[in-house]
Amino acid sequence: MTMQRLLVTGGAGFIGANFVRYLVAQHPEVRKIIVLDKLTYAGNRANLAGLPADRVQLVVGDVCDAPLVDRLVAQVDAVVHYAAESHNDRSLVDPDPFVQTNILGTYTLLQACRKYDVRFHQISTDEVYGDLPLTGKAAFTPTSRYQPSSPYSATKASADLLVGAWVRSFGLRATISNCSNNYGPYQYVEKFIPRQITNILSGRRPKLYGTGRNVRDWIHVADHSWAVWLILTRGRIGQTYLIGAQGEHTNREVLEMILTAMGQPKGAYDQVRDRPGHDQRYAIDASKLREELGWRPQYTDFAAGLRQTIAWYRDHPEWWQAAKARVEAAYARHGQ
Ligand code: NAD
Ligand code: DAU
The gap from C-alpha 81 to its chain's centroid, in whole angstroms, comes to 11
Domain 5-183+218-243 has CATH 3.40.50.720: yes
Closest ligand 2 atom, CA of 336?
36
Atom of ligand 1 minimally distant from the CA of 17: 26
Sign, Cα dihedral of 186, 190, 191, 193: positive
Paired strand residues for 7: 34, 79
Which of 19, 40, 96, 319 for a ligand 1 pocket mutation test, highest count of atoms within 8 Å of Cβ? 40
| ipTM confidence score | 0.99
Q: Please tell me what DSSP assigns to residue 140.
A: B
pLDDT at 269: 98
Residue 75's region, left for phi above 0, alpha for psi from -120 to 50, else beta, is: alpha
Could you give the angle at which helices 192-201 and 251-261 cross, rounded to 10 degrees? 30
Dihedral pair phi/psi, residue 216, rounded to 5°: -120, 150
- What would the pLDDT profile of 199-234 be if each residue is shown by its tens digit? 999 999 999 999 999 999 999 999 999 999 999 999
Alpha-carbon span 4 to 33, nearest angstrom: 8
Q: Using an 8 Å Cβ cutoff, are 22 and 94 in contact?
A: no
* Domain-wise residue ranges, the chain: 5-183+218-243
For residue 277, how many other CB atoms are within 10 A of its CB? 12
What distance in angstroms lies between residue 192's CA and the mean position of ligand 2's atoms?
5
The residue whose CA has the least distance to atom 30 of ligand 2 is 192
Q: How far is CA 147 from the centre of its chain?
A: 19
Q: What is the DSSP letter of 51?
A: S
- The pLDDT, as a whole number, for residue 2 is 83
> What's the 11 CA to ligand 2 centre distance in angstroms?
20
* CA 251 vs CA 123, 135, 216, 312: distances in Å: 24, 14, 7, 21
Distance from the alpha carbon of residue 215 to the mean position of ligand 2, in angstroms: 10
Active-site entry in 37, 126, 217, 279 = 126
User: Please, what's the largest Cα pairwise distance for the chain?
Assistant: 58
Question: At residue 303, what are phi and psi to the nearest 5 degrees?
Answer: -60, -40
Query: Do 35 and 79 meet the contact criterion of CB atoms below 8 Å apart?
Result: no
Distance (angstroms) between ligand 1 centre and the Cα of 86 equals 5
Low-confidence residues of the chain: pLDDT under 70: 1
pLDDT of residue 243: 99
**Which atom of ligand 2 is the closest one to the Cα of 331?**
36
Q: Which residue in 129, 230, 207, 184 sits closest to 13, CA to CA? A: 184
State the helix-helix crossing angle for 192-201 and 317-333, rounded to 10 degrees: 110
- Cβ partners under 8 Å of residue 22, min gap 6: 222, 225, 226, 229
